[in-house]
């Protein structure tokens, strides 16, 4: 099986992040598709980041990151925002534990 980092635009950091979300190969990532895989990443506790999502989408298409501009980038931003708002509360693992215990007021979603 090929590593996640064998996909264009995805390096060791994204490979480690996806591994933490239970996605350990490029084949698994391709079979899930960008949106499902990124949703898993968010669910595993990683803070959503548009450029990472953009790198994933264009990488799965075999395209360089810089090729995505204009209306296509705006449409991907809308998809990313939908994924982000559907995911769990962003933050570090420590912050999520504090939230689960109810020891701090709820935070508004990041923009």
Domain boundaries, the chain: 4-101
Question: Does the structure show a pLDDT above 80 at 78?
Answer: yes
Cα separations in angstroms, 35 against 3, 56, 57, 92: 19, 9, 8, 22
Q: Tell me the pTM.
A: 0.78
> Mean pLDDT score of the chain, rounded to an integer?
88
Domain 4-101 has CATH 1.10.150.20: yes
Query: Is there a contact between 48 and 109 (Cβ–Cβ < 8 Å)?
Result: no
For residues 68-90, average pLDDT: 86
The pLDDT confidence band at residue 45, using thresholds 50, 70 and 90, is: confident
- Give the Cα separation of 102 and 23 in Å (integer): 31
C-alpha span between 107 and 33 (Å, rounded): 30
């Amino acid at each position: 099986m090929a590593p996640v980092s064998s996909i264009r635009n995805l390096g060791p950091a994204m490979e480690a992040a996806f591994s933490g979300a239970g996605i350990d190969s490029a084949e698994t990532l391709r079979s899930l598709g960008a949106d499902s895989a990124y949703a898993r990443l968010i669910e595993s506790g990683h803070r959503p980041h548009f450029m990472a999502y953009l790198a994933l989408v264009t990488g799965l298409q075999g395209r360089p990151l810089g090729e995505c501009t204009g209306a296509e980038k705006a449409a991907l931003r809308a998809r990313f925002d939908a994924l982000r708002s559907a995911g769990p509360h962003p933050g570090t693992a420590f912050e999520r534990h504090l939230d689960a215990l109810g020891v701090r007021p709820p935070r508004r979603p990041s923009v």
